[in-house]
Amino acid sequence: MDTVVLDVADVNKNFAGLQALSNVNLKIKEGKTHAVIGPNGAGKSTLLNVCVGRLQPDTGSVTFDGEIITGKKPYEINQAGVARVFQTPEIFADLSVEHNVMVAALAKRDGSFHPHAFRNLVSETAIHDEALAVLEDLGLKRMREMKAESLSRGDKRRLELAMCLIQHPRLLLLDEPTAGMSRHDTNQTIDVLKRIKERGMTKVIIEHDMHVVFSLADWITVLAQGAIIAEGPPEEIRGNPKVQEAYLGGAHE
């Protein structure tokens, strides 16, 4: 029987009368890539924010690795083994690419994400070596000395992914990891995520690009207007009339 790594149970979230999430139940199984899709305003990013502690649900709970994490702070959830790639890359623009990845590793170890706190990065030999290995894996090693702000959008998103991977998370949450990328960059990112999948890492992906979704997902959950309207393997979701209705005539922001 597949182990459930993340269990979202009966989660509701309301914003000033707008029901962003309505009785959402989600079980993320170990080693799988689980995609969450839906039209704009469906509640996808709100769901991730609840999972990582940036938002608290009005009712319901989130359990990670057998422990309820509802009410915990984001850094506590990160320390427990959950990492997230955001829609807009959250990187340290003034630091080098290499130091961004090292800071992420130190943050996981020490529980802080403030780059000014790390005065002796050069002395962290083991983390330095691992950072270079992760950057090489993602095709960023040649850019290691560049300031992060100078990277292209696609490379910034891969850098944020590198910052997550060096933390060795048990669960990786990706919020539109290929948004704004060229097709070339998108295909490169798909290849990286496939390699991660081969290593057994559990992933939840929010994505509008169906090419990405059907290239990676083992299971798909579809949200519309805050509620789950369908879920199943990709081949079932592809032709589901409820899903087609949601995308063609469905929810708006």
* Res 125: pLDDT: 79
Q: Which residues of 113-144 are buried (b: 16+ CB within 10 A; e: fewer)?
A: bebeebeebeebeebbebbbebbeebebbebb
pLDDT digits (tens, 9 = 90+) for 189-211: 899 899 888 888 999 999 988 99
Q: Residue count of the chain, please give it.
A: 253
Please determine, for residue 184, whether its predicted confidence score (pLDDT) is greater than 50.
Answer: yes
**Residues 238, 37: contact at Cβ < 8 Å?**
no
The ranges assigned to domains in the chain are 1-81+171-253, 90-168
Report residue 241's pLDDT band, with 50, 70 and 90 as the boundaries. Answer: confident
Top CATH class of 1-81+171-253 equals alpha beta
The whole-model pTM stands at 0.87
